[in-house]
Amino acid sequence: MSRCLLCQQQLIHHYTLKELLLAPQFYLDQICGHCLRKFTRIDPTTACRQCCRPGQTRQLCQDCRNDQSKGLMPMTNRSLFHYNQAMHDYFQAYKRHGDYQLRQMFAGSLRQALSYYQADYLITYIPTSDKHYQQRQFDPVLGLFADLCPLETLLKRNAIDWHQSTLKRSERLKAPQIFIAQTATLAKISKSKILLVDDIYTTGTTLR
């Protein structure tokens, strides 16, 4: 029996035979319609075509235009949901309070989004800090994605470590980069298209 991971209401799913044989909990979102309405999906047709900031009608937002004028390397971000109060509460429960079951709540949406990239992209992730791993006993980004696609461990944190959650947006934009590519992976990624997955997009500093 499948239940909504927020309110525990029973869910009625219609699975295909393939989905029944291959871990059905990772094919559909584990959330009921009532709870899902608290979250707001980002409409890609009205978002910045580069960073996915909403309300841009596919034009570049001001931040992306500023980056372009500075000659920064162009990047493309794809976000699925707005970070509203419901999403804030979700990540509080998942990351701060360590409710590991919540990793499956948006599995269907994430799997569908990943399906556009899996064929010809090398997929890697943002690793959690040792301190946070000790607190939670799991890596939240791995929790969201590890069962949905093959992941390569390409990044590690350097000696300078700070936590984005403690900084304001303006401070994050000026903060030093704390992630570096592991030396052994440089040859592998030099000619590859890279998909970097993470849980929350704020400024794009990590991606750049």
d(CA 53, CA 83): 11
Please choose, from the candidates 8, 1, 64, 61, the residue with its C-alpha nearest in 3D space to the C-alpha of residue 32.
Answer: 8
For the chain, the domain total comes to: 3
Whether the per-residue pLDDT at 141 is higher than 90: the answer is yes
CB of 193 closer than 8 Å to CB of 167: no
Q: Please state which of the ranges 20-24, 153-157, 198-202 shows the lowest mean pLDDT.
A: 20-24
CA dihedral for 166, 175, 91, 142, sign (positive or negative): negative
Q: 3-state DSSP call for residue 92? A: helix
Q: 13 and 97: one domain?
A: yes
Whether the per-residue pLDDT at 42 is higher than 80: the answer is yes
Q: 25 and 14: one domain?
A: yes
Q: 1 and 101: one domain?
A: yes
pLDDT at 171: 58
Helix (DSSP H) and strand (DSSP E) numbers for the chain: 9, 6
**Alpha-helix residue ranges (DSSP H) falling in the chain:** 17-21, 33-36, 62-69, 85-91, 107-114, 130-136, 140-145, 169-174, 186-189
Mind listing the pLDDT tens digit for each residue in 49-62?
999 988 767 789 99
Whether the per-residue pLDDT at 158 is higher than 80: the answer is no
Please choose, from the candidates 147, 148, 152, 140, the residue with its C-alpha nearest in 3D space to the C-alpha of residue 198.
Answer: 140
Range of the domain at 107: 1-39+88-116
Q: 16 and 93: one domain?
A: yes
Q: 177 and 124: one domain?
A: yes
CB of 50 closer than 8 Å to CB of 76: yes
First to last CA, the chain: 43
Q: 183 and 198: one domain?
A: yes
